[in-house]
Amino acid sequence: MSTYPKPPEVTVTGYPASSAPPPPFTAYPYPAPPPPPYAAPYHHPYQPYQSPYRIFLRPLMIIAAAVLLAAGITTFIVWLVIRPRLPEFSVSSASVSGLSTDAQSLTASFDVAFSVRNPSKKAGIGYDGVEAAVFYGGDSVVKTTLPPLYQGSGNTTIVRARLVAAGTYVPPGMVKGIADDRAAKGTVSFGFAIRAAAYFRSGAWRPRQHLLTVYCDGVPFRFANSTAGVFSGPQKQCKVDFV
């Protein structure tokens, strides 16, 4: 068997080979500095413009609302303690004299006495701007003004009114209705009404005024002759509205 000679070993001198890749090429002779740390963007929230007048008025409105609320609560508590009640009205007596009519006018004098009672035990009641009126069939015959009135608690007062119609224009249907009632039944029913600005009072407490309206419907007058009639009772209770 033939043999081949072993090649001689060659010794190489120099630097050992590096396993890391060469650095990237840059114009800067040294390695590039690291990038700065990432910072989140800063957003400025939108601030709407506020008028200085609005800023000034807002606390005033809050204070005013608080004062009104406190006043309302105080009034309500006082109302519960005093417990004012609506007044009671009734027609105690009435008469008409000198009644005459023609095609479109009426002449008559009405004298009426109202019994007015204040049932409240802890509050008086006052009436300003008092007006009284006479009606027939829903139509006004005559009205007049009455003096102011004040009643203490539990008080009953007789209020008298005289209402005079002198040739007052009235609808033709009213003239015929009065004549027919008087001829057929000997009685004619009139209605009375009272309007006033009323208020309760207890010591220094006096709330706002209210519109008081009193209706006394169907008060019968019996006629002994063609010109004079009388309401002789019993007392006619009236409806009272308080707004």
pLDDT digits (tens, 9 = 90+) for 21-30: 555 555 555 5
Cα separations (Å) of 74 from 79, 133, 243?
8, 37, 20
Q: Report which of 163, 186, 178, 190 is spatially closest to residue 103, judged by C-alpha positions.
A: 178
Q: Give the model's confidence band at 97: pLDDT under 50 very low, under 70 low, under 90 confident, else very high.
A: very high
Q: Report which of 179, 175, 186, 189 is spatially closest to residue 220, judged by C-alpha positions.
A: 189
Q: What is the mean pLDDT of residues 186-197?
A: 97
pLDDT of residue 208: 79
- Contact by Cβ (8 Å): 201, 123: yes
- 82: pLDDT strictly greater than 70: no
Spatial distance between the Cα atoms of 118 and 115, rounded to a whole number of angstroms: 10
Q: In the numeric block, which tokens belong to residue 30?
A: 């040294």
Rounded to the nearest integer, the mean pLDDT of the chain is 83
Q: Give the model's confidence band at 48: pLDDT under 50 very low, under 70 low, under 90 confident, else very high.
A: low
Q: Give the model's confidence band at 9: pLDDT under 50 very low, under 70 low, under 90 confident, else very high.
A: low
CA dihedral of 60, 65, 67, 73, whole degrees rounded to 10? -170
In CATH terms, 88-242 corresponds, of 3.40.50, 1.10.10, 3.40.1130, 2.60.40, to 2.60.40
- Contact by Cβ (8 Å): 218, 191: yes
- 19: pLDDT strictly greater than 60: no
CA dihedral of 20, 26, 32, 34, whole degrees rounded to 10? -80
Q: How many CB atoms lie within 10 A of CB 1?
A: 2
- 229: pLDDT strictly greater than 60: yes
pLDDT of residue 58: 79
Q: What is the mean pLDDT of residues 183-206?
A: 90
- 39: pLDDT strictly greater than 90: no
